[in-house]
Amino acid sequence: MLTAPQAKVLLKHNSDLIPVILGCQNHFEITIDGESIAPQRMTTPQARQFKTLAAAYSYLRTFLDYRGDVSIRIKD
């Protein structure tokens, strides 16, 4: 599980990595190199959840300063 600052550094220093937005049943999650992004206040070990695809993409652009390609996958 990655924190936002760790994810930001990882994306900045390794331009080959492409974040994946996973579409789950009721929410979306962001993974980078197979690692999920952790919520700010992690009380239980679960990935940060976004209600919409737009919210997940906005998080990548705003908080992680990422402007590259993004892969979107639907999780069964």
Q: Read off the pLDDT of each residue in 42-65 and give the average, rounded to a whole number.
A: 89
Torsional sign, CA 6, 52, 48, 73: negative
Torsional sign, CA 10, 62, 47, 25: negative
Per the CB < 8 A criterion, the answer to whether 42 and 1 are in contact is yes
Is pLDDT at 54 greater than 90 in this prediction?
Answer: yes
Grade residue 60 by pLDDT with cuts at 50, 70 and 90: very high
Q: Read off the pLDDT of each residue in 53-66 and give the average, rounded to a whole number.
A: 93
pTM: 0.86
